[in-house]
């Protein structure tokens, strides 16, 4: 067999005679070299291609390990955060309970002070939050907590303002109440003569009795029935030793027939202060306190005042 190689540059074609033993060897050697070269190239290419994949695989596995570790850490952080949130939720619950107690207290104060209920809205609905949830589900959104805390803060501010207003109103009410004649000027004793027209105990003729008489043992302490200023302490015709207190709101009280005067003019007296000892000075048939209440310059029936309570 003969292979004829034709070249453009060479006019004469080259002839490879396969029948020639030397030529066959040369071709076999060339083929062997070519095959070996191809195999080496293939191996190199295969290695070059396989190496990055392995590296990537190992990197992926490394990342997976890292992610796993981070996941564990995240779990711990989440548990911590949940614990913190639970603690906050508990704290918030306590604050809300306190707020409810404040509301109840405020309402009671408003009732005690006989204040207009409409003025004090202590009966607000409690703030909504997961704390009231009894299903046991914990807070999952910090946003809920934040909202609840803000609501609670606003509520506390409102309560603060309302309680301050209530306090000043109660103080005013208390002062007002302290200035009004209330209760008996002596402990014990009984009313032996009422206000109004009665036969005069000395002349027997009808006469107007301008107060009430409270029969009481000699020396019984006589108390101021309201806060005020002593305007008179001395002897008045018929009244004997008398104390007069101006309460500054149109009221004046008079305590007569005392055996001893304790308060002095210009003295400021509080509710219940001892101002005199009961006696029988002046036009009197026995130890008693003659008690008068004056309102805006006119003598009034003291009965309603002595029977009222502060
Ligand atoms: Zn009298």
Cα-to-centroid distance, 268 and ligand 1 (Å): 25
Cα-to-centroid distance, 289 and ligand 1 (Å): 7
Contacts of 228 by beta carbon, 8 Å cutoff, 6+ apart: 179, 245, 246, 247, 248, 251, 253, 268, 269
Q: What is the pLDDT along the chain (310 residues), one digit of tens a residue?
A: 666 666 676 666 666 676 777 877 887 888 888 888 878 887 777 776 767 777 778 888 888 888 888 888 888 888 888 888 888 888 788 787 877 777 777 777 666 666 655 555 655 544 445 444 455 555 555 677 778 777 878 877 777 777 777 777 777 777 888 999 999 999 999 999 999 988 887 777 888 899 999 999 999 999 999 999 999 999 999 999 999 999 988 999 999 999 999 999 999 999 999 999 999 999 999 999 999 999 999 999 999 999 998 7
pLDDT tens digit sequence for 212-253: 999 999 999 999 999 999 999 999 999 999 999 999 889 999
Cα-to-centroid distance, 174 and ligand 1 (Å): 30
Cα-to-centroid distance, 209 and ligand 1 (Å): 6
Question: Model pTM?
Answer: 0.52
Cα-to-centroid distance, 212 and ligand 1 (Å): 5
Rounded to whole angstroms, the Cα distance separating 251 from 253 reads 7
Q: Name the DSSP class of 57.
A: H
Cα-to-centroid distance, 255 and ligand 1 (Å): 10
Cα-to-centroid distance, 309 and ligand 1 (Å): 23
Cα-to-centroid distance, 300 and ligand 1 (Å): 13
Cα-to-centroid distance, 23 and ligand 1 (Å): 165
With CA atoms as reference, report the closest residue to 282 among 257, 254, 247, 253. 257
Cα-to-centroid distance, 215 and ligand 1 (Å): 10
Cα-to-centroid distance, 31 and ligand 1 (Å): 153
Rounded to whole angstroms, the Cα distance separating 17 from 28 reads 13
């Amino acid at each position: 067999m003969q292979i004829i190689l034709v070249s453009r540059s060479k006019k004469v074609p080259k002839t490879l005679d396969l029948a020639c033993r030397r030529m066959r060897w040369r071709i076999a050697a060339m083929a062997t070299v070519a095959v070996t070269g191809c195999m080496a190239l293939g191996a190199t290419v295969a290695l070059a291609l396989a190496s990055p994949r392995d590296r990537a695989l190992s990197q992926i596995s490394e990342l997976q390990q890292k992610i796993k570790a981070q996941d564990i850490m995240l779990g711990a952080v989440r548990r911590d955060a949940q614990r913190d949130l639970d603690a906050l939720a508990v704290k918030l619950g306590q604050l809300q309970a306190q707020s409810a107690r404040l509301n109840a207290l405020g309402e009671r104060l408003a009732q005690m002070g006989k204040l207009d209920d409409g003025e004090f809205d202590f009966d607000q609905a409690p703030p909504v939050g997961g704390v009231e949830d009894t299903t046991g589900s914990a807070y999952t959104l910090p946003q809920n907590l934040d909202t609840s805390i803000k609501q609670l803060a606003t509520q506390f501010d409102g309560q603060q303002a309302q309680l301050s207003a209530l306090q000043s109103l109660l103080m005013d009410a208390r002062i007002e109440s302290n200035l009004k004649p209330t209760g008996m000027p002596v402990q014990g004793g009984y009313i032996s003569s009422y206000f109004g027209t009665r036969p005069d105990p000395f002349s027997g003729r009808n006469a107007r009795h301008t107060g009430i008489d409270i029969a009481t043992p000699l020396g019984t302490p006589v108390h101021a029935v309201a806060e005020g200023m002593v305007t008179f302490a001395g002897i008045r015709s018929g009244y004997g030793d008398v104390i007069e207190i101006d309460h500054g709101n149109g009221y004046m009280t008079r305590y007569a027939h005392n055996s001893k005067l304790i308060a002095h003019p210009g003295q400021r007296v509080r509710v219940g202060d001892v101002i005199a000892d009961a006696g029988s000075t002046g036009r009197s048939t026995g130890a008693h306190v003659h008690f008068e209440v004056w309102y805006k310059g006119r003598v009034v029936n003291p009965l309603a005042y002595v029977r009222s309570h502060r």
